[in-house]
Amino acid sequence: MANNKITSRDVDFAKWYTDVVRAASLADYSSVKGCIVIEPNGYAIWEKMQSILDKEFKKLGHVNVQMPLLIPESMLNKEKELVNGFAPEVAWVTIGGQKELDDKLCIRPTSETLFCDYYKDHVSSYKDLPKLYNQWCNVLRWEKETRPFLRSREFLWQEGHTIHSSKEEAMNETNQMMEVYYKFFHDYLAIPSIKGKKTEKEKFSGAEYTLTNEALMYNGVALQAATSHYFGQKFAEAYDVKFTNKNNELEYVYQTSWGCTTRMIGGLIMVHSDDYGLVLPPKIAPKQVVIVPIGDSEEVKTLSNSFKEQLLEKDIITYIDDSDKSPGFKFAEAEVNGIPVRIEIGERDLAKGTITIARRDTREKIEVSKDVDIVTYVSELLDTIQKDMYERAEKRRDELTFEAHTLDDMKKILETQPGFIHAMWCGDKECEEKIKEIKGCKSRCILEGAKSIDDKCVCCGKEAKYHVIWGIQY
């Protein structure tokens, strides 16, 4: 029987999702409307994501900084597209130190303006470039409907903001960071993502273009997993960020930004978890192995401790649950919390010379000799779980990937089972908007260089220019 605190995934996916968030103590609603409390289990996943990505960023020469939380209205107003994009969803500080402010301050929804304002005074020559800065911080967007991790007014993220002396270098950076995210999702989160370019309608306000990683959730709904923007010289012109190039001419810098957020904790849940609670890929799991001793004989204790020490020695994060709860309760708790591997060491099993090892992903129980080389066994099992989880997610994604040649095809698919829909597009916004009328289906990304699957636009029948993936989004 599945966890009785969790609605079945197939009965009500939305309810199932929030049930898992609560049952695994990842986050809770707060008394602050639209904002969540990230609880220890959820924050530990974020810490792990941070440490992996931060290392990757640094390997590529990026350094961390911290810009202010607040942006004066006058500074924000310098770049019109960004203002128009974010104005409806910012929070304004109008009173500070008991006084009404002359220039009100918005809480950063993103920090392009602040980075530009800093860069303009810190770059003069091509020798000062590139600047490869990143920051880990909180941002705020006044969302109307919120869901834990997926959409909340405040969220945590990293935002990279780089400036370069040439268009080519900045475009390479934009591409490189999309690849970093892709690899992170693939290798650590066990989430297959699709790389592509956003349409003009869906790109980031102010960007020349936006590259994206799009992932598909278990229920066939799409999640924008991380984006990387190329700004060209747009912001540089608005904020006057100039440098002297090698030919001794003044030129505006070329700029990028890229970000990944706590939303991916939601993505992890919606790709991998089940009716028993959280399922985590071993490489992102803050705790990888739980040992449950059953009974309190010396042999049980000694073996539990020995296994724990051996595993910790090899950096496999292991703990013993020796609380006074029943074994059944401990098993269910380890399951709901998504501990990838559970080792049950019981007196009766030991008498037969065995222990039991349970996989969280498949819930399979395996009887193993108590003399097993535990480090090798568990290492291999963790690798297998990681690999299997990726393959299962990929299989599910592929099963929910369709092809449409007419609007009717699209309607039928979206009414039966949403997923990723491949279809050709002429490039007109009107067609994009018409398609959106079908259950809010949006272009997820343009697959650049992908083979054509039709000559005609799926919507208007005119000449097709782009191979696009469409879907319903979170």
Give the C-alpha separation, 100 to 103, whole Å: 9
β-bridge mates for residue 132, sequence order: 162
Q: How many residues bind its own copies (CB under 8 A)?
A: 54
Taking CB under 8 A as the binding criterion, the range among 151-159, 292-300, 408-416, 429-437 that sits at the site for its own copies is 151-159
* Of the residues 70, 368, 438, 453, which one makes contact with its own copies according to CB under 8 A: 70
Is 69 a binding residue for its own copies by CB under 8 A? The answer is: yes
d(CA 338, CA 340): 6
Any residues with CB less than 8 A from the CB of 298 and at least 6 apart, and which? none
Task: Answer yes or no whether residue 39 interacts with its own copies by CB under 8 A.
Answer: yes
Residue 17's Cα: distance from chain center in Å?
16
Question: Is 8 near its own copies (CB under 8 A)?
Answer: no
What end-to-end distance do the CA atoms of the chain give, in Å?
Answer: 30
For residue 64, state whether it binds its own copies (rule: CB under 8 A). Answer: yes
Separation of alpha carbons 400 and 429, rounded Å: 26
Question: Considering only residues 6, 45, 49, 140, which one is a binding residue for its own copies as defined by CB under 8 A?
Answer: 140
Q: What distance in Å separates the CA atoms of residue 26 and residue 266, rounded to the nearest whole number?
A: 10
* Shortest distance in whole angstroms from residue 170 CB to its own copies: 19
Closer of 41 and 354 to its own copies (Cβ): 41
Shortest reach from residue 99's CB to its own copies, in Å:
9
Amino acid present at 79: E
Q: Is the dihedral of CA 164, 166, 167, 173 positive or negative?
A: negative
Which range, of 44-52, 208-216, 400-408, 443-451, touches its own copies by CB under 8 A?
44-52
Residues 6, 24, 45, 105: which binds its own copies (CB under 8 A)? 105
Provide the token pair at 251. 């030129």
- 433, 442 Cβ separation under 8 angstroms: no
- 107 binding its own copies? (CB under 8 A): yes
Cβ(241)–Cβ(116) below 8 Å: yes
Alpha carbon distance 213, 185 (integer Å)? 9
Q: Is 138 in the site for its own copies (CB under 8 A)?
A: yes
Q: Select from 53, 156, 222, 424 the one that contacts its own copies (CB under 8 A).
A: 156
Q: One symbol per residue from 108 to 137: x for binding its own copies (CB under 8 A), - otherwise; what is it?
A: ------x--xx--xx----------x---x
> Candidates 32-40, 357-365, 371-379, 387-395 — which segment interacts with its own copies by CB under 8 A?
32-40
Per CB under 8 A, does 369 bind its own copies? no
Query: How are beta strands 154-164 and 131-140 bridged, if at all?
Result: antiparallel
Residue 329 in contact with its own copies, rule: CB under 8 A: no
Which residue, 109 or 471, is less far from its own copies as judged by CB?
109
Answer yes or no whether residue 380 interacts with its own copies by CB under 8 A: no
User: Within its chain, how far is the Cα of 95 from the centroid?
Assistant: 35
Angle between helix 167-184 and 40-59 (nearest 10): 140
CA–CA dist 424, 402 (Å, integer):
12
Pick from 87, 320, 350, 372: which binds its own copies (CB under 8 A)?
Answer: 87
C-alpha span between 441 and 169 (Å, rounded): 34
Q: H helices of 344-417, where? A: 347-351, 374-399, 407-416
Is residue 457 helix, strand or coil? coil
**By CB under 8 A, residue 72 contacts its own copies:** yes
The nearest distance, CB 127 to its own copies, in angstroms, is 9
28 binds its own copies (CB under 8 A): yes
Distance CA 432, CA 435 (A): 5
- Region from 101-109, 364-372, 413-421, 434-442 binding its own copies, contact rule CB under 8 A: 101-109
| Cβ nearer to its own copies, comparing 98 with 247 | 98
Closer CB to its own copies, 120 or 392, in the complex: 120
| Residue 59 is a binding residue for its own copies (CB under 8 A) | no
- Whichever of 72 and 338 has its CB closer to its own copies, that residue is 72
Q: CB 144 → its own copies: shortest distance, Å? A: 7
Range in contact with its own copies (rule: CB under 8 A) among 40-48, 219-227, 312-320, 345-353:
40-48
Cross-strand pairs, 469: 422, 445
State which residue, 95 or 366, has the beta carbon closest to its own copies: 95
Binding status of residue 67 toward its own copies by CB under 8 A: yes
The piece of 42-50, 287-295, 334-342, 421-429 that touches its own copies (CB under 8 A) is 42-50
SS3 of residue 20 by DSSP: helix
37/265 Cα distance (integer angstroms): 14
Q: Which sign, positive or negative, has the C-alpha torsion 179, 147, 201, 232?
A: negative
Contact set with its own copies (CB under 8 A):
28, 30-32, 35-40, 43-44, 46-47, 63-72, 75, 87-98, 104-105, 107, 114, 117-118, 121-122, 133, 137-138, 140, 142, 144, 153-154, 156
